[in-house]
Amino acid sequence: MELSEHDLAAYLAEHPDFFERHAELLSSVQLQSPHGNRAVSLQERQIEMLRDKMRALEHRLAELMRNAADNEIRSGRLLAWARALLMQGDAASLPRTLVGELRERFELPLAALRIWGVRPEYAGLDEAAPVGEDIPVLANSLSEPFCGANAGFEAARWLASPPQSLALVALRPATQAPAFGLLVLGSPLSDRFTADMGTEFLARVGEVASAALLRLLPPS
């Protein structure tokens, strides 16, 4: 009876001691090396496979270490930014501090903020200037930050210069509550904010900004 490759593989899997009983086969079997047109023994081929796996693991480990370092840097910047907001004792200066520190800490030359429904004493702030009717509608529609190309958003006109890509972050007093503001971050680079990027960090930025700016709203 002729054995198929499947039958042979199943037999070897069920009898792991086969090569112990036939050790001479390990040195006599010749395989094609993936790293050149030469034949290698089964043992050499196994060593090459292990080396390839080790290289892949090393690359993966290096990638994880880079990501960990990047996350540590971002977390440090977020904490420094939050600290600056906590230390701002003048509520009227809070929006300017929020945007200014955000630009500096995260190297974002283009950043702007608009809030609505503020207490009367803060209605004259630049950040409380009237916005179009579509802005609150847009902010309320954002269940998570938007990232992508500038498609002519009204909010992009708040920035000092037209961005190629931007992020829009709705500001809310609570997760399901109506938005009371919109934070816009822009970049002259088209790949700084993309539709496929993660938005969790931007969501944390929005939560901190929202909590800080509640001081400007009427008591709920």
Residue 152, pLDDT score: 86
Q: E-assigned strands of the chain?
A: 30-32, 39-41, 110-115, 146-149, 165-171, 181-187
Nearest Cα to Cα of residue 183 among 119, 138, 220, 124:
138
Coil, strand or helix at 156: helix
- How far apart CA 38 and CA 58 sit, in angstroms, is 26
- pLDDT over threshold 90, residue 211: yes
Q: In a 10 Å sphere around its CB, with 0-12 CB exposed, 13-18 middle and 19+ buried, how is residue 4 labelled? A: exposed
Average pLDDT over residues 64-85: 82
CB-based contacts of 97, cutoff 8 Å, min separation 6: 84, 85, 88
Nearest Cα to Cα of residue 199 among 148, 139, 140, 164:
148
By the 8 A CB rule, do 114 and 155 touch? yes
201 compared with 61, residue with greater pLDDT: 201
Helix 94-105 vs helix 42-87: crossing angle, to nearest 10: 150
- pLDDT over threshold 90, residue 165: yes
Residue 57, pLDDT score: 81
Residue 219, pLDDT score: 87
Taking the domain 60-216, which CATH number applies?
Answer: 3.30.450.40
- pLDDT over threshold 70, residue 189: yes
Average pLDDT over residues 77-87: 92
CB-based contacts of 186, cutoff 8 Å, min separation 6: 108, 110, 111, 150, 156, 159, 163, 165, 166, 167, 193
Sketch the domain layout of the chain as residue ranges. Answer: 60-216
pLDDT digits (tens, 9 = 90+) for 130-144: 999 999 999 999 999
Name the token pair of 156. 């992009």
By the 8 A CB rule, do 210 and 151 touch? no
133 compared with 35, residue with greater pLDDT: 133
Residue 212, pLDDT score: 96
Whole-model pTM? 0.70
17 compared with 25, residue with greater pLDDT: 17
Q: What is the mean pLDDT of the chain?
A: 86
